[in-house]
């Protein structure tokens, strides 16, 4: 499968220029069947990246542009009454797919956000009196813009917690932006070819589950999570005033799963501390609720995670 991973990365790199961490996050989420939140400024190829991923995998793909007037039924579907037959017919929404792109997710209301909670956690949709399973694999990939405040709705903590990964996308270098601008102007981007099918992907997901993680490393991960909740217990008293709420139990589960996927992508058969360090920020940054003091002092969740990683040692 190592060759398949390399081919997949090569295909994604055709359209995603200069963002290796984004490619890595997409693959980790995909291999772990975990949902992904991509945050970045406008025009940084967030949507392009997801489109490229869908084409390279050949999976069923749906995109929903989130707006203030979006309704839950626009995502999940609804029962529609037909007067001629005097019966209700189920019309399934875009949630019934393998890859669901929620573009600019923070532009929709809380009611729409709540519609995603069940399908993200249970992989099923409830419409009227019926419950329907969504196809497998099923991954939600959402994008959001961190600078616009007008007309946006912050995602509630309950929904943020359902995203396995939150990855940040920054600006390209001058050389990378020159390459992007030149290729777009000349329409010289190479087409994305499908290199993996659904069956191969499911095989890879099963192989990721078999990656070995030592009990000592699992214990280390639990300590990292607990340090976000009880920093004083781990000699991190200075962090207490900056953390309102620490990471949830889902963070422990997701960090183990992400570390396994990271080891798999690196061609390893077992998890190492390197994999945990590579995934810690991606898994934890959206799960740590910063205090008012931290917000006033412009302290970021990533800085808190760095401090915890430096302080907590493996036994």
Q: What is the pLDDT of residues 83-111, one digit of tens each?
A: 877 777 888 899 999 999 999 998 888 88
Total of domains in the chain: 2
Whether 255 has a pLDDT exceeding 90, the answer reads: yes
| Residue 85 domain flag | no
Which residue in 2, 8, 3, 62 sits closest to 30, CA to CA?
8
**If residue 36 lies in a helix (H) or strand (E), which one and from where to where?**
strand 35-40
Q: Are residues 182 and 35 in the same domain?
A: yes
> In the 8-state DSSP scheme, what is residue 190?
P
CATH number at residue 21: 3.40.50.300
Mean pLDDT of the chain: 90
Final residue before a domain boundary, out of 155, 179, 200:
200
**Which is it for strands 99-103 and 139-144: parallel, antiparallel or unpaired?**
parallel
**Which residues form the domain of 35?**
2-68+94-200
| Residue 237 domain flag | yes
Q: Are residues 63 and 166 in the same domain?
A: yes
Q: Are residues 275 and 145 in the same domain?
A: no
Average pLDDT rounded to a whole number, residues 9-22 = 90
Rg (CA), the chain: 20
Q: Are residues 239 and 266 in the same domain?
A: yes
Whether 78 has a pLDDT exceeding 80, the answer reads: yes
Q: Are residues 13 and 160 in the same domain?
A: yes
Phi-psi map region of 260: left, alpha, beta (phi>0 left; psi -120 to 50 alpha): alpha
Q: Are residues 112 and 174 in the same domain?
A: yes
Average pLDDT rounded to a whole number, residues 141-148 = 82
| Residue 45 domain flag | yes
Question: How distant is the alpha carbon of residue 92 from its chain centre?
Answer: 24
| Residue 205 domain flag | no
Whether 276 has a pLDDT exceeding 80, the answer reads: yes
| Residue 229 domain flag | yes
Q: Are 243 and 233 in contact (CB under 8 A)?
A: no
Final residue before a domain boundary, out of 200, 229, 244:
200
Determine the pLDDT at residue 257. 97
Q: Are residues 221 and 272 in the same domain?
A: yes
pLDDT, tens digit (0-9, with 9 covering 90-100), for 226-247? 999 999 999 999 999 999 999 9
CATH number at residue 263: 1.10.8.80
CA angle 115, 131, 80 (to 5 degrees): 75
Q: Are residues 120 and 150 in the same domain?
A: yes
DSSP state letters, 49-63: HHHHHHHHHT--EEE
| Residue 82 domain flag | no
Q: Are residues 225 and 149 in the same domain?
A: no
Final residue before a domain boundary, out of 177, 200, 223:
200
Determine the pLDDT at residue 151. 62
DSSP state letters, 127-165: ETTEEEEPPSS-EEEEEE-SS--TT--PPPHHHHTTEEE
Q: Are residues 47 and 135 in the same domain?
A: yes
Q: Are residues 193 and 270 in the same domain?
A: no
The CA-atom distances, in angstroms, between 50 and each of 38, 110, 235 are 10, 24, 41
Q: Are residues 35 and 160 in the same domain?
A: yes
Q: Is 83 helix (H, G, I), strand (E, B) or coil?
A: coil
Determine the pLDDT at residue 313. 84
**Which is it for strands 289-290 and 243-245: parallel, antiparallel or unpaired?**
antiparallel
| Residue 74 domain flag | no
The answer for residues whose C-beta is within 8 angstroms of residue 155's C-beta and 6 or more apart is 105, 106, 113, 144
Percent of the chain with pLDDT over 70: 98
| Residue 125 domain flag | yes
Q: Is 217 helix (H, G, I), strand (E, B) or coil?
A: helix
Whole-number Å distance between alpha carbons of 206 and 146: 35
Whole-number Å distance between alpha carbons of 22 and 216: 29
The band of 154, judged by pLDDT with boundaries at 50, 70 and 90, is confident
């Amino acid at each position: 499968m190592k060759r398949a991973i390399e081919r997949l990365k090569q295909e994604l790199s055709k359209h995603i220029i200069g963002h290796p961490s984004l490619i890595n996050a997409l693959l980790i989420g995909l291999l772990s069947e975990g949902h992904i939140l991509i945050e970045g400024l406008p025009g940084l190829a967030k949507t392009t990246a997801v489109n490229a991923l869908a084409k390279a995998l050949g999976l069923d793909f749906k995109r929903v542009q989130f707006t203030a007037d979006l309704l839950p039924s626009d995502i999940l579907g609804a029962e529609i009454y037909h007067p001629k037959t005097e019966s209700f017919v189920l019309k399934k929404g875009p949630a019934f797919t393998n890859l669901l792109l929620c573009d600019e997710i923070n532009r929709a209301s809380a009611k729409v956000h709540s519609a995603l909670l069940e399908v993200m956690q249970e992989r099923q949709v409830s419409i009227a009196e019926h419950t329907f399973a969504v196809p497998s694999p099923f991954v939600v990939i959402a994008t959001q813009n961190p600078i616009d405040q007008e007309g946006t709705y912050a995602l509630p903590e309950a929904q943020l917690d359902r995203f396995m990964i939150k990855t940040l996308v920054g600006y390209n270098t001058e050389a990378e932006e020159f390459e992007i601008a030149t290729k777009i102007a000349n329409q010289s981007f190479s087409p994305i070819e499908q290199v993996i099918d659904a069956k191969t992907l499911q095989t890879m997901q099963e192989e990721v589950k078999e990656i070995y993680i030592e009990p000592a490393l699992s214990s280390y991960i639990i300590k990292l999570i607990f340090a976000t909740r009880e920093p004083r217990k781990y000699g991190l008293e200075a962090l207490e005033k900056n953390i309102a709420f620490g990471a949830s139990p889902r963070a422990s589960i997701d960090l183990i799963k992400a570390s396994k996927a990271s080891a798999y992508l690196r061609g390893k058969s077992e998890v190492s501390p390197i994999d945990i360090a590579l995934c810690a920020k991606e898994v934890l940054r959206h799960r740590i609720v910063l205090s008012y003091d931290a917000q006033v002092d412009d302290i970021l969740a990533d800085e808190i995670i760095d401090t915890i990683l430096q302080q907590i040692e493996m036994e």
